[in-house]
């Protein structure tokens, strides 16, 4: 017997599509229904093997689902829940894949209070690609997946959502939305905007950036890869995690200032110390 009778995935893009493919691969759900926004996507998501059925009608899709997974961009998660909340069955568990959690979980808990059980989720997929076509059933294999718990979170619901992601191959970490957002401001959101700032600073060079990029080694490529991500997605992530991201940016600005000041003073020992600390801090990241 599958873990879930009916799974409803709202937003069948890279993440939602990969979840669908992984769920079908591992036989986690009896039926996977996908909710898409474009009529043209209805056939596409079925043909691509991400879902068993597809619809544009979110109210209809959620009504007999045991688990609803909202895999839309961050800014659409709560508005989407507003739309379907009246239609979920009693005891339905609602989770999401959003990159920020404080705003999202607070919003979902408000919207779904007394109707469904909310468990915040954030699988760390690490792909800057988009679209169901790039979705892969092994996207979450070995990847961290954060499950959030608040004072309102139902214990059985958290167990089920954790089990769900574990079967998909993810390593589960449980924490509060607040701790999640503080951590991801630093390990994910900051590097994203730093990569963008590196690229934009190259745009300031004499002769223009195209002239520079032909000489780029893998260092620049790797260090700015995430700058290829979706601007509107990341704009919303930043706004949703504004306070923590601002803290992370200010700490980072202090560190880059130390580099500049050491270099202004031609202080080689200070520069080497900066690099040694960074290398030591990074050593667990192999």
137 to 156, contacts with a second copy by CB under 8 A? 143-144, 146
Nearer to a second copy, 114 or 254 (CB): 254
Q: Can you list the positions of beta strands (E) in 71-206?
A: 93-96, 117-119, 121-123, 144-148, 171-175
Q: How far is the CB of 109 from a second copy (least distance, A)?
A: 23
Q: With binding defined as CB under 8 A, does residue 201 bind a second copy? A: yes
Nearer to a second copy, 1 or 281 (CB): 281
Could you identify the residue written with the tokens 């040694």? 276
Q: How far is the CB of 226 from a second copy (least distance, A)?
A: 5
Could you identify the residue written with the tokens 């469904």? 116
Q: With binding defined as CB under 8 A, does residue 213 bind a second copy? A: yes
DSSP SS3 for 99? coil
**229 — phi, psi (to 5°)?**
-70, 175
Taking the C-alpha atoms of residue 178 and residue 241, their distance in angstroms, rounded to an integer, is 10
Q: With binding defined as CB under 8 A, does residue 172 bind a second copy? A: no
Provide the token pair at 60: 């209809």
Q: How far is the CB of 22 from a second copy (least distance, A)?
A: 17
Q: With binding defined as CB under 8 A, does residue 192 bind a second copy? A: yes
Q: Which of 43, 138, 141, 222 is close enough to bind a second copy by CB under 8 A?
A: 222
Nearer to a second copy, 46 or 233 (CB): 233
Q: With binding defined as CB under 8 A, does residue 250 bind a second copy? A: yes
Taking the C-alpha atoms of residue 284 and residue 264, their distance in angstroms, rounded to an integer, is 31
Q: With binding defined as CB under 8 A, does residue 114 bind a second copy? A: no
Q: How far is the CB of 180 from a second copy (least distance, A)?
A: 9
Q: Is the dihedral of CA 10, 148, 284, 197 positive or negative?
A: positive
Nearer to a second copy, 30 or 229 (CB): 229
Q: Which of 40, 90, 142, 264 is close enough to bind a second copy by CB under 8 A?
A: 264
Q: How far is the CB of 71 from a second copy (least distance, A)?
A: 17
DSSP designation for 37: S
Q: What angle, 0 to 180 degrees and rounded to 10, lies between the N-to-C axes of helices 74-84 and 231-240?
A: 80
Q: How far is the CB of 42 from a second copy (least distance, A)?
A: 29
Nearer to a second copy, 57 or 222 (CB): 222
CA R_g for the chain: 21
Q: With binding defined as CB under 8 A, does residue 131 bind a second copy? A: no
Q: What angle, 0 to 180 degrees and rounded to 10, lies between the N-to-C axes of helices 190-202 and 231-240?
A: 130
């Amino acid at each position: 017997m599958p873990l879930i009778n009916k799974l409803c995935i709202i937003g069948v893009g890279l993440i939602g599509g990969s979840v669908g493919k992984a769920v079908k691969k591992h036989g986690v759900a009896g039926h996977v229904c996908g909710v898409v926004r474009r009529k043209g996507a209805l056939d596409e998501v079925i043909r691509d093997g991400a879902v068993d059925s597809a619809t544009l009608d979110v109210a209809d899709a959620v009504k007999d689902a045991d688990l609803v997974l909202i895999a839309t961009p961050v800014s659409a998660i709560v508005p989407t829940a507003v739309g379907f909340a009246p239609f979920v069955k009693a005891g339905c568990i609602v989770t999401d894949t959003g990159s920020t959690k404080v705003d999202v979980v607070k919003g979902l808990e408000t919207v779904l209070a007394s109707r469904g059980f909310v468990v915040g989720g954030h699988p760390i997929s690490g792909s800057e690609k988009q679209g169901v076509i790039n979705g892969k059933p092994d996207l979450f294999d070995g990847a961290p997946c954060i499950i959030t718990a608040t004072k309102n979170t139902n214990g059985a619901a958290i167990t089920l959502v954790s089990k769900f992601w574990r079967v998909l191959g993810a390593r589960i970490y449980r924490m509060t939305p607040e701790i999640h957002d503080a951590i991801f401001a630093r390990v994910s959101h900051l590097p994203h905007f730093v990569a963008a700032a590196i690229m934009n600073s190259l745009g300031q060079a004499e002769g223009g950036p195209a002239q520079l990029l032909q000489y780029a080694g893998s260092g620049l490529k790797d260090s700015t890869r995430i700058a290829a991500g979706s601007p509107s997605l990341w704009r919303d992530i930043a706004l949703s995690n504004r306070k923590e991201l601002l803290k992370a940016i200010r700490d980072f600005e202090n560190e880059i200032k130390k580099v500049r000041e050491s270099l202004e003073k031609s202080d080689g020992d200070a520069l080497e110390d900066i690099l040694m600390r960074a290398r030591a801090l990074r050593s667990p990241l192999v």
